[in-house]
Amino acid sequence: MSMGTYFLRRILQAILTLLVISMVIYGLLSTVPGGFMTVYNVRDDMTPEDLARIRAKFGLDDPLPVRYLKWLSATLQGDLGHSFTSKRPVTQEIVERLPNTLLLMGISLLTTLLVAVPLGILSAVKKYSLFDHIATTLAFAGQSLPVFWFGLLLIIVFAVTLRGSDGRPLLPGAGMYTLGQPFSLADRIRHLIMPVTMLTFVSAAGYMRYLRSSMLDVINQDYIRTARAKGLRERKVIYKHALRNALIPLITLIGLDLPSLFGGALFTETIFAWPGVGRLYFSAALKTDYPLVMAILMIEAVLIILSSLLVDFLYAWLDPRIRLS
């Protein structure tokens, strides 16, 4: 199978996958109990004629397949609809929150890699040592602890219990800036510390264990023994030969996690009241704001599919055998 044929087949599969995902999500949201009309049904001042007029305005009387086709047609033209609660375009709602999510998730990803990569290398090089046991135990804890519990624990310790010399909380427990004060870099950093710590502790645990396992597989290969037999320094053997090959699977994993830069962290943004896309999604779900929920889910699905395609294309380019499978 040629490279072009392989790429075309994967693109067609991605389009079909997205179509199926959109059908499933739209169908589930349309059949959820309650829904948009619940707000109006409980009002005493709404007559049956008013309710019928509202249903007709939003096309709720149309059969589900017809409503889905109308939504799909509008989406393909770039119209994601209007929010039920704010009456504003969904695109505008998302664009306003996206920079905040990119800031939080970008810094968290950077700190995660700065923590996970050195720990993963040292754990593999010092296999079964005291350091390895401590790092592995912390990694298991990071993957096992409930995210929301760890976030609440941080708030209790650093925003409630511990106080600064002026009697104020040591760290702010919510928001991304202090109300009533002008912007300052120091204030933004203080608001970032706890949510970034929460995301880093959870994410670095998985990356660290993944890199440790990959490094252990690589350092036992024949070419590593050959490099040592040539008299190369151990540091050069580890960082130039072993690490470069061990990072390939980790880079793939990071590439698949990149869509989270858009979707944000639902629990983190909600617990720390961070005004990002994750918190916007949570708020929209509580208010049955289905156009907003649908848009966020579909954009994230598109990003995940694109990330998977990119990884597949890179693998097919690096290893021609994949194109024959």
pLDDT of residue 218: 86
Angle between helices 90-125 and 185-218 (to 10 degrees): 50
Q: Give the whole-angstrom CA distance, residue 259 versus residue 90.
A: 19
What mean pLDDT do residues 218-245 have? 82
Percent of the chain with pLDDT over 90: 20
In sequence order, the 6+-apart residues with CB closer than 8 A to the CB of 39 are 288
Structure-block tokens of residue 112 = 């995660």
pLDDT of residue 93: 92
Q: Is the pLDDT of residue 213 over 60?
A: yes
Structure-block tokens of residue 304 = 């995940």
Asked which of 69-83, 127-141, 165-179, 238-252 is least confident by mean pLDDT, the reply is 238-252
Structure-block tokens of residue 256 = 């698949």
What mean pLDDT do residues 132-147 have? 87
The alpha-helical segments, DSSP class H, found in the chain are 3-31, 38-41, 48-57, 64-76, 90-125, 130-144, 147-155, 185-218, 222-229, 234-236, 243-257, 260-263, 266-271, 277-286, 290-318
Say what the pTM is.
0.82
pLDDT of residue 266: 83
pLDDT of residue 197: 92
pLDDT of residue 181: 82
Asked which of 118-132, 143-157, 236-250, 272-286 is least confident by mean pLDDT, the reply is 236-250
Q: Write out pLDDT tens, residues 288-324.
A: 888 899 999 998 888 888 888 887 777 666 556 555 5
How confident is residue 3, by pLDDT bands cut at 50, 70 and 90?
Answer: low
Q: Give the whole-angstrom CA distance, residue 150 versus residue 145.
A: 7
Q: Write out pLDDT tens, residues 158-176.
A: 988 888 777 788 888 888 8
Residue with tokens 């589900």: 64
Q: Is the pLDDT of residue 6 over 80?
A: no
Residue type, 109: L
Q: Write out pLDDT tens, residues 7-62.
A: 788 889 889 999 999 999 988 888 776 666 666 666 667 777 777 777 777 777 77
Q: Write out pLDDT tens, residues 121-131.
A: 999 988 888 99
What mean pLDDT do residues 63-83 have? 87
Q: Write out pLDDT tens, residues 149-160.
A: 888 999 999 988
Structure-block tokens of residue 123 = 């754990």
What mean pLDDT do residues 260-283 have? 85
Q: Give the whole-angstrom CA distance, residue 257 versus residue 87.
A: 32
Our measurement of the distance from residue 82's CA atom to the centroid of its chain's CA atoms, rounded to an integer in Å, reads: 24
Could you state, in order of their start, the residue ranges of all structural domains in the chain? 90-286
Our measurement of the distance from residue 321's CA atom to the centroid of its chain's CA atoms, rounded to an integer in Å, reads: 31
Domain 90-286 indexed as CATH 3.30.750.24: no
